[in-house]
Amino acid sequence: MSMTIPHPVHPVASPRDPFVDVLRVLGMVLVVVQHWTMPVLLDRGGDLVTGNALASVPLITWISQVMPLVFFAGGAANYLSWTGRPQSAEKWIGKRVVRLGWPVLPLIAVWLPLPYLLGALGVPAQPLEVASRLVGQLLWFLAVYLLAVVTTPLLARVPARVLLPLCAAAALAVDVVRFSGFEQAGYLNIAFVWLAVHQVGFLYAQGRLTLTGRRALALAAAGFGLTAAMVAAGPYPASMIGMPGMPSNMAPPSAVMLAVFAGQLGLALWAREWLNRALPAPVLSWLAPRMMTFYLWHMTALITVGGVAFAGFGIETPQPWSATWWTLLPIWLGWLALVLTVLTALFGRFEAAPPTSSTPLRTLGAVGLSAAGLLTLTVTGFTPGTFVPAAGSAALALGMALLLRRRAAAPLPR
């Protein structure tokens, strides 16, 4: 018995849209560069103290925090994939879940034992715990994207004119509850905000989002203008990334992210032709199939270079935005890019997921186990001294195993 969710009948754009690929690649590159630019590493009595270089210039994050565009591009890609060829929902979801989770397995294989090994070699416990947590925190994106993938066959049937206003209204209502003192309620916006952005990607894939020129700039102005109004009215902070001592617009996402997304989308549509030419074809063709590896390992590159600089040579981060900081930034980014290139070359082969075989029950189990594993590792990271990271890793690995195609048994000799 299969999940017989019919395919939508909207006219579908080209099965491969270069703008979607460019947005996915450039968006992920900007996310990585933002993460690499943020850290301020200081030594306070042998403990690693981290700061954020973007704390003093929060308006930059209105452009640099491009996760909304990444989810938008993912929505367009998912819609094109789901509607491109008739297939059962469980088969399509199974393939996407394995493609999402398979590249995480080598990260687990490295980072489950690594903290223990480094600890045995004399690395201090405090910076080791910071590093182990940071690597796991990256997996929040995969956990949320898994939700977007699983709901695609269903939400592809829901008219955007119905879903988008409902999501926006729900996100605002959740913020009212959250900022009234019920902080945990804010996590409901993981669904309302990111699924709304993902759904706008459906509109683009259907050829119904064709803003160009002045109309695209008008959308950008309206989006950023609304963002400014919401920040000025409060309680939304000006930064679109989490900052110490203030609420976060990202974890969990707040309704202001929808306004920022509108501004970013308007700019992206206005610059569409330029963006399509921004990445040379060889660079795009190398990066596009390896973007998950690029994302998953960029924090390992940061920890490697930062660890050598901080622990090995005692180098602290200069005052952010000072002349020294600007002078050293290209060197810092260059070393990080070199290490990440090596890691991507080593582990990029895991982007090619193995063949899958799905039934509704196995797909349901795989989704549940994968979600549990990703959420566990997001919360705990690979922090040593507890079995929880191993349990989360095992859940994800079992979820992948449920969907792998079984090899036919060899015939018994007669």
Structural domain includes residue 98? no
Question: Could you tell me which residue, 321 or 353, shows the higher pLDDT?
Answer: 321
**122-132: pLDDT as tens digits:** 888 888 888 99
Task: Give me the pLDDT at residue 352, please.
Answer: 86
- Cα–Cα distance between 396 and 376 in angstroms, integer? 10
Structural domain for 249, as ranges: 18-88+125-354
Classify residue 337 as exposed, middle or buried by CB count within 10 Å of its CB (0-12, 13-18, 19+). Answer: middle
- CB neighbours (10 Å) of residue 344? 21
**230-251: pLDDT as tens digits:** 999 989 999 998 887 788 999 8
Arithmetic mean of pLDDT, 325-341: 94
- The SS3 of residue 356 is strand
Structural domain includes residue 189? yes
- Cα–Cα distance between 197 and 218 in angstroms, integer? 19
Which DSSP symbol is given to 308? Answer: I
Structural domain includes residue 238? yes
- Cα–Cα distance between 288 and 281 in angstroms, integer? 10
What percent of the chain has a predicted confidence (pLDDT) above 90? 64
Mean per-residue pLDDT over the chain, rounded: 89
Structural domain includes residue 97? no
Structure token pair of residue 103: 């590249």
Structural domain includes residue 241? yes
- The SS3 of residue 37 is helix
Contact 265, 200 (CB under 8 A): yes
Q: How many domains does the chain have?
A: 1
**10-34: pLDDT as tens digits:** 444 445 678 998 999 999 999 999 9
> The whole model's pTM is what?
0.90
Structural domain includes residue 409? no
**133-158: pLDDT as tens digits:** 999 999 999 999 999 999 999 999 98
**280-298: pLDDT as tens digits:** 888 888 888 889 999 999 9
Structural domain includes residue 234? yes
Kindly state the greatest CA–CA separation across the chain.
Answer: 81
Q: How confident is the model at residue 410 (pLDDT cuts 50, 70, 90)?
A: very low
Structural domain includes residue 23? yes
Question: Could you tell me which residue, 353 or 367, shows the higher pLDDT?
Answer: 367
- Cα–Cα distance between 257 and 40 in angstroms, integer? 25
Q: What is the DSSP string of 310-326?
A: IIIT-PPPPPTTSHHHH
